[in-house]
Amino acid sequence: MSERITRKSWNDIKPSHEELETLDALSDEEVARRVAADPDAPPPPDVDWWRNAEVVAPRKQPVTLRLDPDILAWFREQGPGYQTRINAVLRHYMETVGDR
């Protein structure tokens, strides 16, 4: 199974000034009505859920890794975020190969 991950920067997806003004002008009731009418919008969690919510992000560890020069060059040629892409390739390998 092949999976394609596409990353977008905020500059690629940020709404225009006009879009933000339109959204800002909506009342809370109109936002709630639009969300309720959207079949793809999940129901909001119970308000109490947010009281105990905690953002947890895995911490990455810095390592020294020796790579062949052509491999490193190829990842760097893909642009910013090459270390994240190397991590994604290694993760895919780990999840695919597993405990073989």
Answer whether 37's CB lies under 8 Å from 48's CB. Answer: no
Structural domain range at position 41: 12-53+63-97
Distance between CA 76 and CA 82 in Å, rounded?
5
7 located within any domain: no
58 located within any domain: no
pLDDT of residue 4 exceeding 60: yes
Smallest Cα–Cα separation from 60: which of 31, 84, 44, 32? 84
20 located within any domain: yes
CA 93 to chain centre: 20
1 located within any domain: no
pLDDT in tens, 5-45: 788 787 778 888 898 899 899 999 998 899 889 988 887 77
Task: Quote the number of domains for the chain.
Answer: 1
Answer whether 84's CB lies under 8 Å from 76's CB. Answer: no
Residue with the bigger pLDDT between 51 and 39: it is: 39
Residue with the bigger pLDDT between 58 and 36: it is: 36
- Cβ neighbours for 15, distance < 8 A, ≥ 6 positions apart: 23
45 located within any domain: yes
72 located within any domain: yes
pLDDT of residue 2: 61
pLDDT of residue 43: 74
2 located within any domain: no
17 located within any domain: yes
